[in-house]
Amino acid sequence: MQTFVALPAWAVAIAFMTLIAVVNFRGVGESVRANVVLTCVEVAGLLIVVGVGAYGISRGASEPARLTEFDTTGQSALIAVTSAAALAFLAMVGFEDSVNMAEECVDPVRHFPKALLGGLAVAGVLYLLIAIVSSLLVPTDVLAAAGSGALMEVIKVGAPAFPLTLFAIIGLFAVSNSALINMLMASRLLYGMSNERIVPQVFGTVHPRRRTPWVSILFTTAIAVLLVSSLDVDRLGGTTSLLLLVVFTIVNVACLVLRRDRVSHNHFRAPTAIPALAAACCAYLASPLSGRPSDEYVVAGLLLVLGLLPWTVNRLVLGRTPQTPTRATRR
255 part of a folded domain? yes
| CA–CA separation, 259 and 325 (whole Å) | 16
65 part of a folded domain? no
**In the chain, what percentage of residues exceed pLDDT 70?**
91
- Counting every residue written for the chain, the total comes to 331
- Closest by CA to 214, choosing from 7, 84, 22, 63, is 22
310 part of a folded domain? yes
153 part of a folded domain? no
The predicted model gives 247-258 an average pLDDT of: 91
268 part of a folded domain? yes
Supply angle C-alpha 205, 311, 284, rounded to 5: 120
Q: What is the pLDDT of residue 81?
A: 78
Q: What is the pLDDT of residue 327?
A: 43
Instruction: Find the distance separating the first CA and the last CA of the chain, reported in whole Å.
Output: 64
Q: What is the pLDDT of residue 6?
A: 63
Supply angle C-alpha 85, 86, 88, rounded to 5: 60
60-79 pLDDT, tens digit per residue, is 888 887 877 776 666 777 77
115 part of a folded domain? no
What residues make up the domain containing 292?
A: 233-331
Q: Is the pLDDT of residue 157 over 80?
A: yes
Q: What is the mean pLDDT of the chain?
A: 82
The number of folded domains in the chain is 1
330 pLDDT band, cuts 50/70/90, is very low
318 part of a folded domain? yes
276 pLDDT band, cuts 50/70/90, is very high
277 part of a folded domain? yes
Supply angle C-alpha 102, 107, 113, rounded to 5: 60
Q: Is the pLDDT of residue 325 over 70?
A: no
Radius of gyration of the chain (CA): 22
Q: List all residues 6 or more positions away from 182 whose beta carbon is below 8 Å from its beta carbon.
A: 93, 94, 97
| CA–CA separation, 217 and 184 (whole Å) | 8
Q: Is the pLDDT of residue 195 over 60?
A: yes
Question: Of 237 and 309, which is predicted with more confidence?
Answer: 309
158-174 pLDDT, tens digit per residue, is 888 888 888 788 888 88
Q: What is the pLDDT of residue 8?
A: 72
Q: Is the pLDDT of residue 212 over 80?
A: yes
